Amino acid sequence: MVLRFLSYRSKYFPKGTLGLAIGNTVAPCTVLGRYVTDLYDVIENWDAVSRSLTGGTPQEDIAAVEILAPLRGRDVIGIAKNYLDHVKEIQKTPSATVSAGEPQFPMLFTKRGSSIIPHGAQIYHHSTVTNAHVWGATIINDISARDLQRDHKQFYIGKSLDTFCPMGPYAIPAFQLDWKNLMLETRVNGELRQCQNTTELIFDIPTLIETCSKGITLQPGDVIATGTPAGVGSSQKPPVFLKPGDKVEVTITELGTLSNVVAAADALPPSCDPVRMIPTLGFPTRLDSLLLNLPSGKRLYVHVLEPSDPNASANAPSVMFVHGIGESTNTFAPLIEASSINKTHRLVSLDLEGHGRSPLRPELQELSIDDFSESVGEVLNVLGIHRPVVLVSHSLGGLIATTFAAKYPSKVAKLFLIRPARPSIPELSSALISRAAGILAHGFSPSILMPLVNAGLSKKTRETLPLVASKIRSALVGTDLEGFARAFMALAQGTSIPNYENISAETMIIIGREDRMTPLHSDAEYIQKKIRNAQFLVLEDVGHWAHLEDWKRTAEEMMKFIGEHHAPSRAISARL
């Protein structure tokens, strides 16, 4: 099946997304259930994602969506005079600035990123700048202000006026096209003006790429316009110029038809989208000094609190806190304050990758539970903590903690699990994937955020502790959407069950009676049965977030369970 990528905006995707066109319909493009919103991302990671690209939901009629240019926000590199017949006709025009014969080298020009408009959009007339003929060709409709080219003796300004680069409607991978045999046709108001084949190019595609890349860094997704065939209006006898209302259609074999209408001469100047900034996710700047570099290449925010009691041993026991999806190190602050655990214990808190102040690695395609659990071990090793620790966790953090404890039982003394998650089961995976995709596409809109938070809070919390609900909402809204969605996907696809029988650590499981995120507390009950001698405690008037909804009781239970802990650990040999 030919992959036809279509960028579009609809009521379901008001900020725009990337889709796969199937017949007269379009479906949002997904990779492993996660929405992919930008074609640049697909191109840059093609080898990793090409086999996993599928159409998701909802599926919509193309006629009902707003089509966007497939690649926008960057300048376009164009090739001038790359069809011999076009060179000959240009030489005959009064404004000709070229010498006779074929050019000896490809002639390059650029079109500003702000000039790109999508299929169906109007081409602004720019009557206050020029009344010259405008023209387009190939997959890029290369519109030119000929009088500006004549006056300035160069291409740039005459080709880069806003809206002068219609693009689309589709983008199709190279392996599905015969580059050496594409037919180009251009019509104005239905009249055929251009008709040539790419076999007639003076410089073939490899030569153009070689020339453009000499001394110029080509980024993934950069566009090269390969030239326009003969038939431009300024070469007609007499010259024929486009006028308001003219409909220009460019058709290319297998690429479809790009159609645009010239706007009225008195139309208001268009408001072009700002140039798209390429995201720098994974390249932190001001937070560099706060990030711990791990051997795996991860850079995590890690907070270490030494015991506050001056009489505490330099080899004080260590407690590590592992948060859940959409949380950060801050989520355990009330628990730590209420328990006074910091008097006698060294506390280590980390932001999981893609959460809080820990960035995602730019080359990373997906997160996994195993990857998260290895982060726990890496942090302990880098900090020089080699004796068994206590792991305090919440939700997804519980699955991470039990995975680590099952794989490295000698490194964990105790597990204090607040509403721990278990490996996903097939009947829940699709729902989790759908939720992750929805949040990635729409963000934490009120329609998503309120039901999500309310489902996890007890009735008492909702009615008497509004600050708790506000803290949870603020934490979720402030979470990086990509990190949140990838963690959700890790949970949905984390079907590998930890070898719970290997866990030797004493274990306490805390859940809230009114946690409606998991009916009948099936996750916690499942884990209790799997871990030898695991204790189980249900807190009344508490939901999903026991450490926030009833932090005092949870702190009491934590201190009672941890007690004097175990043999002290070595002093930290590597500090932040």
Check for a shared fold between 76-262 and 288-423+496-562. no
Cα dihedral across residues 467, 469, 472, 477: positive or negative: negative
Residue type, 454: N
Q: Which of 186, 310, 153 is nearest to 252 (CA)?
A: 186
- Residues in a beta bridge with 537: 510
| Residue 434, pLDDT score | 74
- CA–CA distance, 81 with 240 (Å, rounded to integer): 19
- Give the CATH number of domain 288-423+496-562: 3.40.50.1820
For 443-521, where are the alpha helices, taking DSSP H only? Answer: 446-456, 459-464, 466-477, 481-493
Question: So what's the pLDDT on residue 100?
Answer: 59
pLDDT of residue 425: 67
Domain spans in the chain, listed from the N-terminal domain onward: 5-68, 76-262, 288-423+496-562
Specify the pLDDT at position 568. Answer: 38
The set of residues, in sequence order, having a beta carbon less than 8 Å from that of 425 and lying 6+ positions away, is: 495
Matching residue, tokens 């628990």: 335
76-262, CATH topology level: Fumarylacetoacetate hydrolase; domain 2 (3.90.850)
Q: Amino acid identity of 53?
A: L
**CB burial readout 369-387, b (16+ within 10 A) else e:** bbbbbbbbebbbebbebeb
- pLDDT one digit per residue (tens) for the chain, 576 residues: 788 999 999 888 888 889 999 999 999 988 765 678 888 888 888 877 887 788 887 889 999 999 999 888 778 888 877 888 887 887 776 555 555 567 777 777 777 676 888 888 887 665 544 333 222 223 577 777 666 656 544 566 667 778 888 988 888 887 787 877 889 999 999 999 999 998 999 888 778 777 877 766 677 777 888 888 888 877 777 888 788 999 999 999 888 899 999 988 888 766 555 444 344 323 333 334 468 888 888 889 999 998 888 777 667 899 999 999 999 999 999 999 999 898 889 999 999 999 998 988 766 667 899 999 999 999 999 888 999 999 999 999 999 999 999 999 999 999 999 999 888 766 667 777 777 777 777 777 777 788 888 888 999 999 999 999 888 888 888 788 888 888 888 888 776 789 999 999 999 999 999 988 765 457 788 888 899 989 999 999 999 999 999 999 999 999 999 974 443 333 332 322
